[in-house]
Amino acid sequence: MPRIALHCSHEQIPPSRLLNSIVHAEQAGFTGGMSSDHFAPWSERQGESGFAWSFLGAALASTSLPFGVVNAPGQRYHPAIIAQAAASLNEMFPERLWVALGSGEASNEHITGDRWPSKAERNARLRECAEVMRALFAGEEVSHDGHVRVDRARLWTLPSVAPELLVAAVSEKTAAWGAEWADGFATVNAPVEHLRRMLDAFGREDCRRVLQVHVSWAPTDEEALAIAHDQWRTNIFDPPVCWDLDTPEAFDAAAAVVRPDDVRKSVLISSDLAQHVAWLQEYAALGFSDIAIHHVGQDLDPFIDAFGAHVLPELA
C-alpha cells in the first residue's frame, strides 16, 4: 500500500494550525505530509496563504514524516533559490523532502509584474529550471541565459542525497514529457481510467508517483457537501481557466454559478468512511507510491481523528 500523507493547504489554514495538524496526523497514523505553495488563496472565503518554505522547516523538525511540496520555479521564484531551500532542508532532514515542479498559475505568479507566458513557454522555462536545479544539486557552478537567467550560482551547502524533482502533471501529454527529465510524478484525483492513462504515459514504476486526493468528510452528507461547496467551488475549473485567472476575486466571480453538486467532479464527498476507504483502495490499486489526502474543510482535527481511526487501518 502507498504512504498516506496529509495535505497541508496554506490557502485555507494558517501555518500555525497546519503545524499542529501535521503533528496530530502523524500521531493518528498518517505516514507523510504534502504542502501547497501559493501566494494567494483560490477564494476570499479561504482567506489565507502562508509561506510554504517557512512551514516546511517547522513541519520536518516537528515530525519524522517525509514531505513533499508543489512548486513553480521561473517567475515568482528563481530556480537557484528553490534549489538552495530544498538542499538546505534535505541537509537537515536527509532524504525527507521531494519537490513537484509545475509550470505555475497566474494567481500566484502575476505578483512579479512580468508577462504571464503561454503554456508552451512556461513548460520550456520549467525544463530549464529543473536542469539548473539538478546542476546546482550536483555541486556545479551554473550560468544560464534562456527563459531564466543564472549568473555563476553555486550551492555551498549540499545534502548527501539530492531532493527528488517530480513533474506536476494533470494531462497524459505532460506526464509523458515529464518522464524525460523528472524523478517521478504527481497528479490530482480524476476518473480512474484517466489516472491509469497518466501512469502509462509516465511509463515508469521505479520512482515516486504521488496522487493528491481532495475529500470532504463530515458526520452527515449534507455537512460534507456544504463544506466542499463553500471551500472548493473555485477549484473545479479545468485548464486553462485555472491557470489564467489571476486573483481570488476573479475565481469567486467565475464560481458564482457553481452548484453544490458540481463540486463532486473534483472532491470525493461522503459522510461514509467505508466509502472513503473504497475510493482510496481503488486509487492505491493503480500503483501510486504516495496518496496525499486533502480534506477541503478548514477544521482538520475531526477529519484526522476519523480517518486515523477508521480509514488508515483499512489501507494498511
pLDDT at 53: 98
| Single-letter amino acid code for the residue at 250 | A
Check residue 301 and give its pLDDT.
Answer: 97
Question: Which pLDDT tens digit goes with each residue over 19-54?
Answer: 999 999 999 999 999 999 999 999 999 999 999 999
- What structural domains does the chain harbor? 3-314 (3.20.20.30)
All three cell numbers of 77: 521564484
Pairing of strands 164-168, 97-101: parallel
Cell of 105: 498559475
What integer pLDDT is reported at residue 1 of this predicted model? 86
pLDDT in tens, 109-165: 999 999 999 999 999 999 999 999 999 999 999 999 999 999 999 999 999 999 999
Kindly report, residue by residue over 208-224, the tens digit of the pLDDT.
999 999 999 999 999 99
Q: What pairing do the DSSP bridges indicate for beta strands 149-153 and 142-145?
A: antiparallel
Is residue 77 within 8 A of residue 99, CB to CB? The reply is: no
Confidence bin at 257 (pLDDT 50/70/90): very high
Q: What are phi and psi of 10, to 5 degrees?
A: -70, -20
Please tell me the distance from the alpha carbon of residue 118 to that of residue 108, in angstroms, as a whole number.
15
CA 158 to chain CA centroid, Å, is 24
Instruction: Read off the pLDDT of residues 269-297 as tens digits, 9 standing for 90 and up.
Output: 999 999 999 999 999 999 999 999 999 99
160-163's contacts with Cβ under 8 Å and 24+ in sequence apart are 160/91, 160/94, 161/90, 161/94, 161/95, 162/87, 162/90, 162/134, 162/137, 162/138, 163/86, 163/87, 163/89, 163/90, 163/97, 163/98, 163/99, 163/137
Q: What is the 3-state secondary structure (H, E, C) of the chain?
A: CCEEEEEECCCCCCHHHHHHHHHHHHHHCCCEEEECCCCCCCCCCCCCCCCHHHHHHHHHHHCCCCEEEEECECCCECHHHHHHHHHHHHHHCCCCEEEEECCCCHHHHHHHCCCCCCHHHHHHHHHHHHHHHHHHHCCCCEEEECCCEEEEECCCCCCCCCCEEEEECCCHHHHHHHCCCCCEEEEECCCHHHHHHHHHHHCCCCCEEEEEEEEECCCCHHHHHHHHHHHHHHHCCCCCHHHHCCCHHHHHHHHHHCCHHHHHHCCEECCCHHHHHHHHHHHHHCCCCEEEEEECCCCCHHHHHHHHHHCHHHHC
Taking only the tens place, the pLDDT of each residue in 58-113 is: 999 999 999 999 999 999 999 999 999 999 999 999 999 999 999 999 999 999 99
With cut-offs at 50, 70 and 90, classify the pLDDT of residue 192. Answer: very high
